Amino acid sequence: MVVSQASGPAVPAIELQQLWLGWRDRIAVRDASGAFPQGSMTAVVGPNGAGKSTLIKAMAGRLSPIRGRIRIDPEIAGELACLPQSAELDLDFPVSTFDLVAMGAWHRLGAWRGLDEAGRDAVEAALRAVGLAGLGRQPVNTLSGGQRQRALFARLMLRDARVILLDEPFAAVDRATTEDLLALLHRWHGEGRTLIAVLHDLDMVRAYFPQALLLAGQVVGWGDSGQVLCASNLHLARHLCAGGAA
């Protein structure tokens, strides 16, 4: 799917409106406002405890706001996919790599409807695109960490979503895999999809992500990556965050 670009000002893909997030007695994100434009490619960065993963969970619908609102463009509300942190995924069950990737098509087919020939060809094409050609029959729990992440990206390809959320997609992944998956992200960006990724490598953000959202429990900066990731903003973010899990 290639997303068409409409002329004139577009409705943001996702807009945060005075958003407060947290659980129990802890506030993770407070009074965050701003928008992710349609077709943008944004890195969410900040120190540990900044609220980055919390924000991804909320935008994916896994956490309800305490206050404020997350507004998703109604035209794409059903076209959002999320890749959580690897630690949140149970990939030790006995399923083939082919079947894991094919799960990306469930939203269109339903969990109990089998793939037709075109669907099987799409899975094989996705496996080739991420460098896993010939590994479809291999059990997921025998793949290396990098191969598993490639398989999860292939599953996202089958999902064919217009908005893609990724939480630390390159954590504990080798350099070659990271470079290949970054190239895939840029391909998706070129197709007009909206990409939002939690990242820690600021050099990577500066090199590959045009937009950045710097969090420290609140919005410190949001916009052009080069301007957001200036020394003063990074110093302020470190000062605001006392540590803890993001």
**For residue 31, what are the domain limits?**
11-79+163-181+194-246
Residues 75 and 32 grouped into a single domain: yes
Query: Could you tell me if 200 and 174 lie in one domain?
Result: yes
- pTM metric for this prediction: 0.90
Q: Are residues 170 and 75 in the same domain?
A: yes
Residues 177, 69, single domain; the answer is yes
The answer on 200 and 211 residing in a single domain is: yes
Burial class for 90, CB neighbours closer than 10 Å (0-12, 13-18, 19+) = exposed
In this prediction, what percent of the chain has a pLDDT beyond 90?
Answer: 75
For residue 232, which of 181, 240, 51 has the smallest C-alpha distance? Answer: 240
Regarding whether 75 and 105 lie in a shared domain, the answer is no
Residue 114 lies in a domain: yes
Same domain, yes or no: 132 and 25: no
Considering the domain architecture, whether residues 218 and 142 belong to the same structural domain is answered as no
In a domain, 2, yes or no: no
Examine residue 101 and state whether it is found in any structural domain, yes or no: yes
Residues 131 and 238 placed together within one structural domain of the fold: no
Rounded to the nearest integer, the mean pLDDT of the chain is 89
Examine residue 122 and state whether it is found in any structural domain, yes or no: yes
User: What pLDDT, in 10s, does the model give residues 65-106?
Assistant: 999 999 999 988 789 999 988 766 666 777 899 999 998 887
Q: Quick check: is 135 in a domain?
A: yes
Query: Pick from 196, 236, 232: which is nearest to 217 by CA?
Result: 236
Interatomic CA distance for residues 35 and 24, integer angstroms: 27
Nearest to 58 by CA among 24, 14, 106: 14
pLDDT in tens, 29-54: 999 999 999 999 999 999 999 999 99
Question: Do 111 and 19 share a structural domain?
Answer: no
CATH code of the domain in which 220 resides: 3.40.50.300
pLDDT in tens, 119-136: 889 999 999 999 999 999
For residues 55 and 174, membership in a common domain is answered with yes
Into how many domains does the chain fold?
Answer: 2
The answer to whether position 28 is within a domain reads yes
Give per-residue pLDDT as tens, 156-173.
Answer: 999 999 999 999 999 889
220 φ, ψ (degrees, to nearest 5): -95, -40
Residues 109 and 54 grouped into a single domain = no
Rounded CA gap, 200 and 94, in Å?
A: 32
